[in-house]
Amino acid sequence: MAVLTGKKAPSFSAPAVINGGEMVDSFSLDQYLGKKYVVFFFYPADFTFVCPTEILAFQQRIEEFEKRNVAVVGCSVDSQFSHWKWLNTPVNDGGIQGVKFPLVVDQSKTISENYDVLAGEYDYNENGELVFNGTPMAYRGLFLIDKDGVVQHQVVNNMPLGRSIDETLRMVDALQYFEEHGEVCPADWHAGDEAMDASHEGVAKYLSKHVKI
């Protein structure tokens, strides 16, 4: 598994469905450079089981991301037609109607490969035929990308394990606090908590105040 944290997020241009039903041929995260933070997350497939719980949870909290100047973008290996159909299917029928943030198309699986979340790989069999070994879908990868296009946080879950929206927001808050104040955020830090100076004295002061063993 590649570690992209601290590196430029891989660039791409791909079809997507935006605003809950508008198909576009060329969508790129580059549009956010210098303007917004990005939470870019992969999910295995449309019309599945854990995936809608995550996607709808992001939509339910979308205002919290927007007030932090964060764009939320999803991606799977499904087509734009599958995305469109799912986005226009009522929740009670297994759809995600009401979701407005972009869903990117990765039918070629190259975006998933570049972010190293593809659950398998292409190889040649003994007959010289190109085959896919594994599951041709993405793991539940999530990447927090800053305004400079650099990945600051990543987490990858296996397919049965849903992600925490609270933890994603916590990491956004921690990144933005560090950028604004220059102080580092200790374990389980939340907005409003005390941070600490990144020095021996700062660590000692924080530990003496907050850690009791």
Question: Which residue reads 């999803």 in tokens?
Answer: 74
CB atoms within 10 A of CB 142: 23
Separation CA 184–CA 177 (nearest Å): 8
Tokens read off for 135: 């599951």
Rounded-to-integer distance, Cα 17 and Cα 40, Å: 15
* DSSP helix/strand/coil, 69: coil
Buried b (16+ CB within 10 A) or exposed e, 96-111: beebebbbbbbeebeb
d(CA 41, CA 74): 5
Could you give the 3-state DSSP secondary structure of residue 3? coil
Provide the annotated active-site residues: 51
